[in-house]
Structure 1
Amino acid sequence: MPGTLLHLGANVLCSHGGQAMPSAPNLRVLVSGQPVATMAAPYLVAGCAFAPPAGNGPCVTAQWVVAATRVFASGQPVVLLDSQAICTPTGTPLLPVMSQMRVTGS
Structure 2
Amino acid sequence: MKFSQELPAGSPFAPRAMFVDKDAQSLAREILAMDQAEYATAFKGSAMKRAKLWMLQRHAAVVLGNVGTRDDVPLLEAALEHEEPIVRDHAAWALARLAGATERP
TM-score bracket for this pair, using the shorter chain length? under 0.3
Higher strand proportion (structure 1 or 2): 1
Structure having greater relative contact order (Cα 8 Å, sep ≥ 6): 1
Instruction: Mark the structure with the bigger radius of gyration.
Output: 2
TM-score under structure 1 length normalisation = 0.23
TM-score under structure 2 length normalisation = 0.23
Higher helix proportion (structure 1 or 2): 2
